[in-house]
Structure 1
Amino acid sequence: MASLNIEVFDAKSSKKSPILLENVATSDTVLSLKKQISSKNGLGVERLSIRLEARGKNVPDEKRISELELPPKNAQIYVRDLGPQIAWKTVFLLEYAGPLFVYPIFYLRPSFIYGADAASKPIHLAVTIALFAHSFHYLKRLYETHFVHRFSNGTMPFTNLFKNCSYYWGFAAFISYFINHPLYTAPALGSLQIYAGLAGFVLGELGNYSIHILLRDLRPPGTKERKIPYPNSNPLTILYNFTSCPNYTYEVLSWVSFTVLTQCLPAGLFTLAGFIQMKIWADGKHRNYKREFPNYPKNRTPIVPFLC
């Protein structure tokens, strides 16, 4: 069995003495390499990023040493400490649980927020429907995080927890404050606007869930296998004929519809912020699909059919 001696340099500081790994089997994986480095520098495996160049890209755990094309002599790699890590699933559960508890406070305890007289004010139908729609959305996200999603990466930087929670929890409070305010202005078109918004919201939620189920079934449990997604028998997955990330398309539809339903500017700002971020993610995934699969459908756009 072929083996190598590999010098492991710190990606941030080349002045540090390298770690020498002796007789590393070329059939071993990068994950196995991380475990050996971890035993020497004391850092957890999840904190380590293996690179072929100091500023290069992270090498996937499943790659074998032979695939790295290291020279038989003077083989060198770089390791970067990613800092304290936290499981993706934990972050998602916490960031989605916040809005589920924050938003109803303004509806159920208005006197705490708006003053003693607020509890006696009438509550518009749109306000009540918005409460159930918003709560359903985050209940669905919690359910999908626990039972549906299969994460390709196990962890993310611990600091992301505070950034993500601040975004979701903060926007939930911002939106809820205005929708549940005693001076809330009802939608201009009345019931027509409310129920049209609700119908769009339900369609977006069902479509988003359908795409997540399709993506789950596309990846066998415990693997990072990637395939080109195509529509299945569920008609809501037909968007895969037009976009690379229809789950984001449906997500945007849900929040556009929620904005129509509530006629609330903060909800519109949340929708815009979400669309900008999802467009960035969709562009990246679209490029990766085209790079990885030469036969990737050319008519697909990243997130908005026929446009972008």
Structure 2
Amino acid sequence: MTSEAVTLSVRARGKPIKNLPEEFVIAPGGSAAQLYRALASKSRLPIHRLRITKGIDGSYIPDSQAVTIHRTGLREQSVIYVKDLGPQVAWRTVFVVEYLGPLLIHPLVYLLRPYIYKTNEPPSELQTLSLILITAHFLKRELETLFVHRFSLATMPAFNIFKNSFHYWVLAGANLAYWIYGPNSPTARPSNPAITYPAVALYVISQAGNLSTHITLRNLRSPGSTERGIPKGIGFDLVTCPNYLFETLSWVAIWIVTWSLSAGLFILVAVGQMAPWARKKEVKYRKEFPGKYKKKKYSMIPGLF
């Protein structure tokens, strides 16, 4: 590798970026992170709004200290495209806002039953149990967001906070709560211990398994870094993403307790979202760790997909 600096041709992808230079000079041994910071400074945009790709094939250049300019394949007069991703919001903030919806909505609907449903009947044991299981689930998620998760990407487009929140505030929040705590809901009937107790046991085991996988994934990445590793531990020998498996089983347990169609709908939508993510993760592991990663037949649910 030569130490002589290379001149890159810089072009905007999509809408023009004010103050973006037409050329940029950098040493081959310089990092991609240096390139990002320099172009962010010159364009006067937050660094997380920028996405840089190679002009020759459109491949993404990561904002990484570990990746050198030479390693990216950029050479003298190589073209790079810089895209302004628009206003961004932190992933951690998005998660906190998403999960806050059900945490607020379920207790409110439960407490306001007399006014919402025009009834003086007290909530049933199953309705109280449903409240406990659902709020405990989302409280766990909030705590994991604040103290466990380490994110590979710092931000996402700000508009996504509204799109992502719909799933939780509406489907897991308002829709689920309205049908669970009503006087005509299946949860208003007496519970059947032969069904309820195994469902609660499944819920507890699944929540513990989900937490275990999140801790495993956290320990693969040091604070502030974006490196990846091959996860090992509970569930990872069965499927690519056991966190999604345990998440699904937790909601199956809630569905068994409530027998609510709205809970079933939430499960279908959630699985429909998580299944493609799990498959992409399997493909990514195979690509990033050839020869080291043990390929999985099932990415999310054994025997299905």
Q: Same fold (TM over 0.5)?
A: yes
* Equivalence for 1:234: none
C-alpha displacement of 1:112: 2.9
* Equivalence for 2:197: 195
**1:242–1:306 CA contact under 8 A, matched in 2:** no
Residue identity matched to 2:262: P
3-state SS of 2:35 partner: helix
* Equivalence for 2:71: 67
Provide closer, same or farther for how the CA distance between residues 225 and 102 of structure 1 changes in structure 2, counting only shifts above 3 A.
same
The CA distance in 2 between the partners of 1:163 and 1:15, in whole Å, is 26
1:10-159 superposed matches below 5 A: 10-12=12-14, 19-53=21-55, 56-62=58-64, 63-72=67-76, 74-115=77-118, 118=119, 120-159=120-159
Deviation digits for residues 110-129 of structure 1 (CA, Å, limit 9, x no counterpart):
123222xx2x2132211110
Deviation digits for residues 237-258 of structure 1 (CA, Å, limit 9, x no counterpart):
1x21110100000000000110
Residue identity matched to 2:100: A
Count of aligned positions: 298
The CA distance in 2 between the partners of 1:91 and 1:13, in whole Å, is 26
C-alpha displacement of 1:23: 3.0
3-state SS of 2:219 partner: helix
C-alpha displacement of 1:92: 0.5
* Equivalence for 1:301: 298
The CA distance in 2 between the partners of 1:14 and 1:139, in whole Å, is 43
The CA distance in 2 between the partners of 1:225 and 1:145, in whole Å, is 19
Structure 2 residue 160 is matched with structure 1 residue 160: yes
Provide closer, same or farther for how the CA distance between residues 85 and 54 of structure 1 changes in structure 2, counting only shifts above 3 A.
farther
Q: State the Cα RMSD in Å.
A: 2.1
2:255 aligned to which of 256, 259, 270: 259
**2:19–2:44 CA contact under 8 A, matched in 1:** no
3-state SS of 1:273 partner: helix
Residue identity matched to 1:169: W
**1:252–1:275 CA contact under 8 A, matched in 2:** yes
The CA distance in 1 between the partners of 2:121 and 2:191, in whole Å, is 22
| More displaced stretch, 202-211 vs 178-187 | 178-187
Residue identity matched to 2:128: T
**2:11–2:81 CA contact under 8 A, matched in 1:** yes
Percent identity for Structure 1 against Structure 2: 38
Using the size of structure 2 for normalisation, the TM-score is: 0.92
C-alpha displacement of 1:188: 8.8
C-alpha displacement of 1:300: 4.2
The CA distance in 2 between the partners of 1:208 and 1:166, in whole Å, is 23
Deviation digits for residues 60-90 of structure 1 (CA, Å, limit 9, x no counterpart):
1112211122232x22100011110000001
Structure 2: gaps spanning 5 or more residues: none
The CA distance in 1 between the partners of 2:209 and 2:218, in whole Å, is 14
C-alpha displacement of 1:284: 0.6
C-alpha displacement of 1:296: 1.7
The CA distance in 1 between the partners of 2:17 and 2:25, in whole Å, is 24
3-state SS of 1:241 partner: coil
Provide closer, same or farther for how the CA distance between residues 17 and 9 of structure 1 changes in structure 2, counting only shifts above 3 A.
farther
* Equivalence for 1:184: 185
The CA distance in 2 between the partners of 1:205 and 1:22, in whole Å, is 50
Residue identity matched to 1:66: H
* Equivalence for 2:227: 225
The CA distance in 1 between the partners of 2:214 and 2:205, in whole Å, is 14
C-alpha displacement of 1:19: 2.1
Provide closer, same or farther for how the CA distance between residues 37 and 206 of structure 1 changes in structure 2, counting only shifts above 3 A.
same
**2:17–2:84 CA contact under 8 A, matched in 1:** no
| More displaced stretch, 153-162 vs 24-33 | 24-33
The CA distance in 2 between the partners of 1:55 and 1:82, in whole Å, is 20
